[in-house]
Amino acid sequence: MLLAERNAAANTLAAYRSDLEDFAGFAARRGEAPAQARVATLRAYLASLSAAGRSARTAARRLSALRRFHRFLLREGVRSDDPTELLDAPKLPRGLPKYLSEQEVDALLAAAAGRPAGLAEVMVAALEILYATGLRISELLSLPRAALAGDAAVLMVRGKGGKERLVPLSDAARDAAAALTAGRKGRWLFPGRDPRRPLTRQGFAQGLKLVALEAGIDPARVSPHVLRHSFASHMLARGADLRSLQLLLGHADIATTQIYTHVLAERLQRLVEAHHPLAVARASGG
Catalytic residues: 136, 160, 225, 228, 251, 260
Half-sphere exposure of 95 (CA within 13 A, CB side): 7
Helix, strand, coil percent values for the chain (each to nearest 5): 60, 5, 35
Residue pair 57/17 in contact (Cβ under 8 Å)? The answer is no
Q: How many helices (H) and strands (E) does the chain have?
A: 13, 2
CA–CA gap between residue 12 and residue 15 (Å, rounded): 5
For residues 19 and 280, what is the distance between their CA atoms, to the nearest angstrom? 56
Nearest Cα neighbor of 7 from 146, 160, 193, 137 is 160
